[in-house]
Amino acid sequence: MIFTQNQKNIANQVLENKVFLTGFAGSGKTTIGKIFLNSLLEQEIPGNRILVLVPQKSLGITYSEFLEGVGNFNGNLPAIQTMSGISQKIIRLFWPIIAPQFNFKNPRHFPTFLNIESAQYFMAKVCEPLFEKNYFASIKSEKPRILSQVLDNLNKSALVGFPHEEIAVRLKSAWNKESNHLIAYDEAQECASAFRNYCLEFNLIDFSLQFEVFNKVIHNSFLIKQYLFNSFDYLVYDNCEEDTPVAHDLILEWLPTLKGALVIMDENAGFRSFLGADPLSARRFSAICEKVIQVQESFVSVPEIREINTIYQKALAHQSILEISAPAFNRLSFHHHKFYPEMINLAVQQIEECIDQGIEPGKIAILAPFVSNALRFQIQQRMNEKNIKLITHRPSRSLREESITHSLLSWTKLAYPEWGLTPSLYQFRTAIMHALGNMDPIRADLLSRIVLSKNKTFLLRPMDDVRPEMLERITIQAVNQYQNIYAWLLQYQKNKSEVDVFLASFFGEILSQPGFGFHQNYDGAEITGRLIESMQNFRKNTFSHFQKTGENWALDYISMLENGLISALYLQTWDLPPQDAVYLAPAHTFLMQNRPVHTQIWLDIGNMGWWQRLMQPLTQPYVLSRNWVEGMKWTDIQEYENNQKNLGKLISGLLLRCSGNILLHTAGYNENGDEQAGPLLKATQRILRTYHRQVGKNV
C-alpha cells in the first residue's frame, strides 16, 4: 500500500496518544489505522497486545487482509474483534464467577450461546402457546417477523442499557395512533419476558442476555475488568459510529488505561441505527481523547462527485441550488423508463459499455433499495447472455428463499424415509433440475414421475424397468446420473449419519462431481456451505435440549427453516472475491461493505424504499435509544424528518464511494406495476430542472 506523509504523521501521533480521527468516507482513515498497526509491529510490540475493534466482523476483513502481507507479528497476531466476541470470551472464561450473580437455574453447568437461528427456534417454542391464545391478532405480520422483532427489542434493551422489562412501557409512551395497537406491545413484552425466563432456566444465552450479563459484570467485578483492560496496550477502534452505546461506555472507561489508541469515526454515517448504532454516543470520544484530528482529503471520490453530493443535500432540504457546473452534471446520467424490464435492459447494456471502455467489472456496482428475487433473476439472466459475471449480496436473505436450499432438503428427506417427509412432485422435479446438469423442466418432470415412489421403506425407484424409448426422451446421460444418485442413497441407508454430515458427503461425492449440476457452480456451493454450517450451529446450540427431550433436531430444523427461519449472518457471504464481477446489492448493504467503485448504477430511484424505513409494528429503533426523550410521542413529522435525514446520509455515503459516474434509472411502473415518485426521484428532477434552466439562460 502507498501511504501519504500526512497519513504517516497522524499514525505516529497515536503511538503515545489517544486520537479521535474523523472524516468522510474515502478520506483514508482506515488506511491510517493500518499504518498505526504496522508501526506498532515494526517497534516490536507483541501482536497480542494490540486490539482492532470493529462493530461487525465484515468491517474487520480489510485489517485481516492487510495483516496477511505483514511479515512479523512479534509472536502473536493482533486481535481483530467485535464487542460481541469480547463479551462471549469473557463470559466463557469467568463463568464460575459470573453465573451465581444471575438467576440461572443451573449455574454449575456451562451455558449454551445461541445464534439468531437457535434463538428464534427457542423463541418460537416459548411463544407457540401464546400464539394459540390469539396473541398479535391486532397486527398483520407473519410469525417469523413477530419473533424477530421481539428478539430485536431484547437486543435493543441490552445494547442501549435499559431493563428489558421496560420495553413495552417505552414503546407505548411514544405511540400516538390507534389505541388497540398498545395491546400488541404488551403481548410482545410478555413474549420477551417469557423467553428470558426460559433462557435462565435452561442456561441459554442469546445475544441480548450475553450483552446484559457482560455489561453488568464488567462494571461490577474489579477482577474481570482488570483482566480485560490489562489484555491490550493499544487499540484501533474503527467505524465506532456503527457501534452501540453500551460498547462506547466500555471503551470510554478503557481508553485511559491504554498506551495508545486510534478511534475512527465516519462523518454523516451510522447506517446501522436500526441495529442500535449511535453516532451521537460515539461523539463522546472527542471529549476524552487527547487529540481530535479531521481528515479532509478524498482518495476515492473526485471534486465533481463531491459537488453532486452537496447539490443533492440541498435538493433534499429544499434549499436553493445556485449553480451546477457542467463537469459535475456530466457525471450524472438520468434515464426514465416506462416499464421495469426496459430499465434492466439498459442498465445491463451500460455495464457492457463500461467494460468495453476498460472499467473492471469489480469496479461497477448495481444498487437498489431492495434486491428481490425477480430483480436478481432478471439481471442475472441478461448478464449471463453477455458473459459478464455478477455477484449478488443480500445478507438478510433467508436460506428459505433459495431454491437450492429446498432442493437439498428434498434429497435429505429422500435419504431419511423414516421421517415420513415425502417431497412433492414439484419439489423433487426442482431437486432433479439442480442435481443433474443440463436438465430442462420437461425431462425433469418426466423423470420425477417415473422414479418417485410411495414406498415408505425407500422413496425412489431404479430405472431398470423403463422402456428404451422413454430412456431416450430423458437422455442416457441423465439416466446414468440418476442411477448414480440412486445407488449412493441406497448405500447410505446401511450406514446413516447426522444430516449435516449427509449433506456434506452427498455434495462432495455426487453433486459437485463433473457432469452433475453443482460442478463449478460456486453460488450453489456457497448456499450449500451456508446450509451445512447453519445445521451444524443449530445442532450444537440445541444439543442439550434435544438430548433431554429425545426429539429429532433435524426434523425441527427443517420445519423451522421451511416456515421462515432467518439464517444467521455468515462471514463468507461478505468475503466473496469482487475483482472480476459486477456487484449487485441493496444500497445499505453496499455501504456496510465499505468498498469504493468507479461506476454506480442506481435502479428504481422513484421507489419509496430509498427513503422510507421498513415498518416494524412491534419495535421502534429511535424510541428504543438513548437519544429519545422520555414522554415524547413519535409523530409523522418525526418520521418524515428522520427519513429525510437518512436519505441524505445514504446518498452521501454512496457518492463518497464513487470515483467515476452515477447512472440513475427510474421506471414509471415498478416490478409490481405501481407508479412511483419517491423523494430521491423528486430531488433528482429538481437538479435536472435547475441545470437545464441554467443552461438555457447561458445560451
Q: What phi and psi values does residue 641 have, to the nearest 5 degrees? A: -65, -40
Whether pLDDT at 60 is above 60: yes
Q: Tell me, letter by letter, the H, E, C secondary structure of 251-315.
A: HHHHHHHCCEEEEEEECCCCCCHHHCCCHHHHCCHHHHCCEEEECCCCCCCCHHHHHHHHHHHHH
Cα separation, 522 vs 7, in Å, equals 39
Sequence-ordered alpha helix ranges (H) in 550-678: 553-562, 587-593, 636-655
Q: Taking Cα atoms as reference points, which of 182, 148, 188 lies closest to residue 167?
A: 188
CA dist list (Å): 524 to 281, 519, 672: 42, 9, 28
- Residue 576: pLDDT band by 50, 70, 90 thresholds? very low
598 residue type, one letter: H
Quick one: pLDDT band at residue 565, thresholds 50, 70, 90?
low
Secondary structure letter of residue 367 according to DSSP:
E
Confidence tier at 670 by pLDDT (50, 70, 90): low
Under the banding of pLDDT at 50, 70 and 90, the label for residue 571 is very low
Judge whether 441 and 433 are in contact, CB under 8 Å: yes
Q: Name the phi and psi angles at 460, rounded to 5.
A: -120, 155
Q: How large is the average pLDDT for residues 335-357?
A: 94
Question: What's the whole-number mean pLDDT along residues 333-341?
Answer: 91
The proportion of the chain whose per-residue pLDDT surpasses 70, expressed as a percent, equals: 96
Residue 573, pLDDT > 70, answer no
Q: Do 244 and 159 touch, CB atoms closer than 8 A?
A: yes
pLDDT of residue 698: 66
Highest-confidence segment of 246-250, 555-559, 613-617? 246-250
Cα–Cα distance, 549 to 538 (Å, whole number): 16
* Residue 626: CB atoms within 10 Å: 15
Mean pLDDT of the chain: 90
pLDDT at 214 over 80: yes
Name every residue whose Cβ is closer than 8 Å to that of residue 259 and which is 6 or more positions away in sequence.
Answer: 16, 233, 234
pLDDT at residue 646, as a whole number = 93
Going by pLDDT thresholds of 50, 70 and 90, the confidence category of residue 379 is: very high
What is the Rg, in whole angstroms, of the alpha carbon atoms belonging to the chain? 27
| pLDDT, tens digit, 9 for 90 and up, residues 173-208 | 999 988 889 999 999 999 999 999 999 999 999 999
The one-letter amino acid code at 52 reads V
Closest CA to 164 of 107, 207, 121, 224: 207
Question: What does the alpha-carbon distance between residue 455 and residue 452 come to, in Å, rounded to a whole number?
Answer: 9
With a cut of 80, say whether residue 165 has pLDDT above it.
Answer: yes
Query: Residue 190, SS3?
Result: helix
Distances (CA, A) of 406 to 349, 398, 547: 33, 12, 27
Is the pLDDT assigned to residue 223 strictly greater than 80? yes
Q: Could you tell me how far CA 471 lies from the centroid of its own chain?
A: 46
pLDDT in tens, 475-528: 888 888 999 999 999 999 999 999 999 999 999 999 999 989 998 887 788 889
Locate the DSSP E strands across 341-500: 364-368, 390-392
Burial of 330 (0-12, 13-18, 19+ CB in 10 A): exposed
Q: pTM to 2 decimals?
A: 0.88
Query: Does 377 have pLDDT greater than 60?
Result: yes
Q: What is the mean pLDDT of residues 99-126?
A: 90
Q: Are 82 and 55 in contact, with CB atoms under 8 Å apart?
A: yes
Residue 438: pLDDT band (50, 70, 90) is: confident
pLDDT-derived band at 395 (thresholds 50, 70, 90) equals low
Residue 342's nearest CA partner among 369, 376, 382 is 382
Q: How many CB atoms lie within 10 A of CB 2?
A: 6
Q: How far apart are the C-alpha atoms of 10 and 33, rounded to whole Å?
A: 9
Q: What is the mean pLDDT of residues 82-99?
A: 95
pLDDT at position 599, please?
97
Instruction: Give the C-alpha separation, 628 to 622, whole Å.
Output: 7
Residue position matching grid coordinates 401464546: 130
Residue 699: the pLDDT is 52
